[in-house]
Copies of this chain bind each other. A is one copy, B any other.
Amino acid sequence: MQDLISILDLAKEEVLEIFEKTDALLRGKIRLRLDGKIVSLAFFEPSTRTALSFESAALSMGGRVLGFTSEESISVAKGENLADTVRMLDNYSDCIVIRHKFDGAAKFASEIAQKPVINAGDGKHEHPTQTLIDLYTIKRIFGTPEGLTFGLLGDLRYARTVNSLVRGLKFFRPKKVYLISPPQLRLREEIRNELDYPTEERVDPRDVIGDIDVLYVTRIQKERFPDESEYEKVKESYRVDVRLVEEMRKDSVILHPLPRVTEIDRRIDSYPQAKYFLQASLAVPLRSVLLHEVVGGVEA
């Protein structure tokens, strides 16, 4: 494996192998070592969870991390073009984990760098390592991600986690995927056209909530709406609250890539369907396996 820019850079077998290794790591059956390797974090867009979980993953295997987690912290080189910055990190490390506000920035970086590049989110394009965590969480809960019914809720137009996830689901033939969003935030047409499984667009989650195995929630951001009153109108309908969860099946689950703000009521945390903390806890082991594959560590 070299670069990971899109979830579709992986074959299904590679995804399953990553899941198996993560299982083995969690069961203590393998130990992964990255001694002497340096991972660089090139976070042009700030992030806490993604950056720190990559850092924890690298450190836990004996690797080291350098780089930056906000554009301001590299202010002096502000005028520097992305290519030169990537070349610099290519000299300083064995792997580049990049987040950038522009779609395609990770792909561009991978064309400049000789070292492998991992996309940690580029614009509204993709966030493939989050998708691996999402799918692996589903596999842990349901035994397999195959043949389930999904409800993707919220911002389906700009959320890169959703764009990656709908592509990743192609590996696992979902029974159906409900695309539940306000009209302004529908999944983009060109992405929906890529999908080879049944999808159905919905505006109100309550219409289909009883049919769903996995409810995947993303935040709706005020900035996406031309005026605030429109935002205020839709906001409430896409908030996961007690009333909505009471209508969900007992064996269904709620996932969220986190951080959440108001889109999931904190009272939901104690419901059996709330699996977003489990999901969050799988980020470090899964990213450990991935970094280890990409950087070429030693298995002990």
Chain A residues with CB under 8 Å of chain B are 36, 38, 40, 45-49, 52-53, 55-56, 59-60, 62, 64-70, 72-77, 79-81, 83-85, 87-89, 91-93, 258-262, 266, 277, 280-281, 283-284
**Complex contact A47–B76 (CB within 8 A):** yes
| Listed residue (A56, A65, A72, A79) with the most chain B CB atoms within 10 angstroms of its CB | A56
Q: Which of B52, B70, B79, B283 contacts A75 (CB 8 A)?
A: B70
Contacts of A284 in B (CB 8 A): 91-92
**With A52-B92, A87-B280 already in contact, 16 other A-B pairs whose C-beta atoms are closer than 8 Å:** A36-B62, A38-B59, A46-B73, A46-B75, A47-B76, A52-B68, A52-B88, A53-B92, A55-B92, A65-B66, A70-B72, A77-B259, A79-B261, A79-B262, A80-B258, A84-B260
Q: Tell me the complex Cα distance, A89–B277, Å.
A: 12
Residues of B within 8 A of A260 (CB): 80, 84
Minimum C-beta distance from A277 to chain B (A): 6
Taking a contact as CB atoms closer than 8 A, the residue among B56, B64, B76 that contacts A46 in the complex is B76
